[in-house]
Structure 1
Amino acid sequence: MEKYFEYKEINLPWLKMIPVNWDIRRNKQFLHECKKTVGDKSSEYTLLSLTLRGVVARDLSENKGKIPASFKAYKIVQPGDIAFCLFDMDETPRTVGLSKYKGMLTGAYNIFHIEGINAQYFYYYYLALDNVKALRPLYTGLRKTINVNTFLSQPMPFPPRAEQDQIVCFLDWKVSEINKLIGIRRKEIQELEELRENTILHTTTSGLDTSVPMKRTDNFWIGTIPEHWNVVQVRRVYSVILGKMLATEPADSSDTYEEYVCAKDVHFDGVDLSDLKQMWFSTSEKQQYKIEANDLLIVEGGAGAGNAALVEEPLDRDVYVQNSIHIVRPKSNRATTKFLAYWMRSMVKRNYMAFVCSVATIPHYTKDKVMSTVMPLPPENEQKEIVRYLDNECEKINNLITKKCSQIATLQELKNSLISDVVTGKIDVRNVTIPKYEHVDDIVDDDLENNEETETDREEA
């Protein structure tokens, strides 16, 4: 795409040049802060959240995120209003949003009516800054806040109105095209993940030899298995050790302060040792709760209940487990720990935790529930063959997923770069013809949608 014919210098920390026909205006020329709260009329407003997808309506019946006891302090938001988070911006995935809704948003945000400028252009401009956290120079104080008056006094590029409208039309088109490609890649990833889980389930229940006779087990989670396999509870072939309860003080002078693994550190793709907490352990507790090679770690409670990771190699230091983690070890060579790891993964992916644990509050996959879990048990040599096969197949699928994820990251970078280049005048789109196209919203991973999980905390901080 072509650049503008001529540029002029401006004095912004994040922008040095703009097209010569553009002006500079201050935010206060477009923004009017809205501080009105819903009070006792919260039932008249939709609950909103500012997330990586922008301002979205929340469904309280889904019971996601933290819901306050009262919405009285929540601010009223009208369609077309701009929401900003002007503090702790490094910790907030998205700090600006343009609302399509009439609703209410936590008082942690500043709400502005906007006029005198294309609101979508204004949003795209600050989205571009937000993507690179360009407003950091405006932080003040320990909490890294931006004073509202400082924000309102900030200058920004101001193209002619017809040009703003063309920029918005162009970006709406191109962003939709990129979002569509991202959606295709995400669907491909979902299909690969389903293939991986189906491969694990089929192989751990049917084995690798398609010629052997099969038998029914009358167990819903297992179904049919080869005739010469057994069905056992985990307790028959594995020992289970629940980790140590949290100890914030030493019991005596011989206790030592040691690193431990808790629920946040254990995932199906491995154990994360990068940010371990510490507590006090006695000499006997260190012997009991120390993680060893070939241990299977299973999460006891919370959203990750049942998540399991195999420690295949000795750790480079002594690490122990807290009581949100079970250590599972084979009692004899009848059992292969990694076979159980694959079986646990299959069970969790098929929502076994919702079946075996009470989910009315926090699910707990207790020691007794772990030991009572039913599993297929092939002969030891077949377990090892199955593990080798699944290691190989899962690696192939994981490599494909990694490539798709890399493609999504590249597309996301392209989108961010395009938005930035267009709203700052680095490329000229005035003469671009906009074709008919399907609008596609941003698509974001559920585990990244964490603004709404912390809004109440920010409001109360």
Structure 2
Amino acid sequence: MKESGIEWIGCIPVDWNIDRIGEKYTERKQKVSDRDFPPLSVTMQGILAQLSTAAKTDAHDDRKLVCKGDFAINSRSDRRGSCGISSLDGSVSLINTVLKPRNNMNPGYYNWLFHSTMFADEYYRWGHGIVDDLWTTKWGDMKNILIPSPPLEEQCHISDFLDEKCVGIDNVLEKTRSSIEEYKKLKQAIITEAVTKGIRGDRPTKESGIEWIGEIPEDWDAKRGKALFHEIKNLSTDGTEELLTVSQYTGITPRSQKNVTMFQSESLVGYKIVEIGDIGANTMWLWDGAIGVSTYRGVISPSYNVYRQINGDYDSKYLDYLLRNPLLVQHYESRSTGIRASRLRLYPQQFLSTIFPVPDINEQRGIAEYLDTKCNGIDTLIEKKNELIADLEEYKKSLIYEYVTGKKEVPQA
């Protein structure tokens, strides 16, 4: 090994060289119309054909030609890792740099090199801009970046080796992610069954009159929302309460516990107060399940809604499971008004006119305990699978870096 003299590369094998990217590629600058060359997307998964061209306009005429075998990389720092070799002739957005490989090099090796996280850091270090999301690296700078240049035969070996190894890792990642989605579906099915049918097994049922459920256990009641809840409009006078978020994923939680970057008002005066046990509903996203029963005292956006139980018909834990179950969320969506999904709103009139099942309070507590146990078990499995995904992704990153920089040698066949 020898020192490369380049910090992000470190040591390289003694028979490797260091070259500039401009010695390996030339830029393809030709502009084309997407009417003649189908639009392609440069993503972290490589270069993909766009599934829909419904948004095409004449403004799309200014695009860059990309030919089969070309390498394209997104120059924007907020698209980190979006690059790949095109398997198609087509056109890409002007924010992408399109490169034609020169002779006497293996494009597959450099594709893996450019997908390494260390190269991504170096690539954007050469960029220019005012803020992160406008930071770009143009070809004029990119072509001067120094990169390792192994002998051609070794480039081929490394490319073939990483193709095989990373496909295996990606297959495990895909199966693990699919397994997580199945566990999430199982969790939702268990919740829905428990909050709408109970957990006692076969028992007499009756028609509930609740359109989103159908039959319920014979000894359960069914009540309209206005008999169960009333809207609360208490507003903060000094803004000292804790700011809470209402999410379709986590229910009601303190904003301080969330990693969010959306706008926050300078003052919380006039925000709606939520007491422990109150229902908080994100009016804009209720159609997607953004509702929950709060275990905190705090404030939520003044554009949200707060509801409180009238007679204490519900156990708070059972109620939280009930309000967030998929069947009821679908009902919220069907009752919401708006011209498209991002504009759908479910207002108090629709929420309070909804009919809800009301089991005996003791049965509610039993259902909540059952669901806590079941859901905690499933969540633990999902967490372990997410840890496996994180470990595999980190292993894949280190594998790519170690072989493309020569830290490890491809085993001989």
Within 5 Å, give how 1:6-405 maps onto structure 2. Answer: 7-38=1-32, 41-60=33-52, 70-87=59-76, 89=77, 91-116=78-103, 117-129=105-117, 133-143=121-131, 144-210=135-201, 212-217=203-208, 219-241=210-232, 267-268=249-250, 270-271=252-253, 273-274=255-256, 275=260, 277-278=264-265, 285=270, 289-302=272-285, 305-314=288-297, 318-323=298-303, 325-347=304-326, 351-358=330-337, 360-361=339-340, 362-405=343-386
Q: The residue matched to 1:388 in structure 2 has which SS? A: helix
Q: Any idea what SS the aligned residue of 1:59 has?
A: coil
Contact 1:234 / 1:374 at 8 angstroms: preserved in 2? yes
Q: Deviations over 1:123-179 (max 9, x none)?
A: 110111367634354244534443432210112111122211111111111111111
Other structure's SS at 2:19 match: strand
Q: Secondary structure at the match of 2:115?
A: helix
Letter in 1 for 2:363: E
CA, structure 1 residues 10+242, in 2 after alignment: closer, same or farther (shift >3 Å)?
Answer: farther
User: Which consecutive residues of structure 1, in runs of 5 or more, have no partner in the other structure?
Assistant: 1-6, 245-253, 434-461
Cross-structure match for 1:445: none
CA offsets 1:227-251 (integer angstroms, 9 cap, x no match): 010122322202235899xxxxxxx
Residues 1:201 and 1:67: Cα distance change in structure 2 (over 3 Å): farther
The count of aligned residue pairs is: 401
Q: Which runs of 5+ in 2 are unaligned?
A: none
Q: 3-state SS of the aligned residue for 2:61?
A: coil
* CA distance in 2: counterparts of 1:403 and 1:226, whole angstroms: 36
- Structure 1 residues 312 and 233: CA distance shift in structure 2, 3 A: same
Change (3 A) 1:353 1:119: farther
**TM-score, L = length of structure 1:** 0.78
RMSD: 3.0
| More RCO (CA 8 Å, sep 6+) | 1
- After superposing the two structures, state which structure 1 stretch, 170-179 or 92-101, moved more: 92-101
Q: Which SS does the other structure have where 2:99 is aligned?
A: strand
Identity value in percent: 25
Displacement of 1:43: 2.3
Amino acid at match of 1:372: S
In 2, Cα distance between equivalents of 1:130 and 1:296 = 47
Letter in 2 for 1:213: P
Aligned partners of 1:43 and 1:356: how far apart in 2?
Answer: 41
| C-alpha spacing 1:111/1:402, structure 2 compared with 1 (3 Å) | same
Q: CA deviation at 1:17?
A: 1.1
Task: Provide the TM-score with structure 2 as the length reference.
Answer: 0.86
Q: SS of the residue aligned with 1:319?
A: strand
Change over 3 Å in CA distance of 1:68–1:197 after alignment to 2: farther
Question: 1:373-415 CA deviation, whole Å, 9 max, x = no partner?
Answer: 3321112222222112212211111111000111111111111
* Structure 1: distance between partners of 2:166 and 2:363: 51
Q: CA separation in 2, counterparts of 1:237 and 1:179?
A: 50
Deviations 1:210-262 (A, max 9, x none): 25422233545213211010122322202235899xxxxxxxxx886987556
Letter in 1 for 2:192: L
1:456 corresponds in structure 2 to none
**8 A contact 1:42–1:72 mirrored in 2:** yes
8 Å contact from structure 1 (residues 260, 279) kept in 2: no
SS at match of 1:20: coil
Runs of 4+ in 1 over 4 A off after TM superposition: 66-69, 241-244, 254-263, 279-282
- With 342-351 and 406-415 compared, the bigger mean Cα shift is at 342-351
Secondary structure of the corresponding residue to residue 42 of structure 1: coil
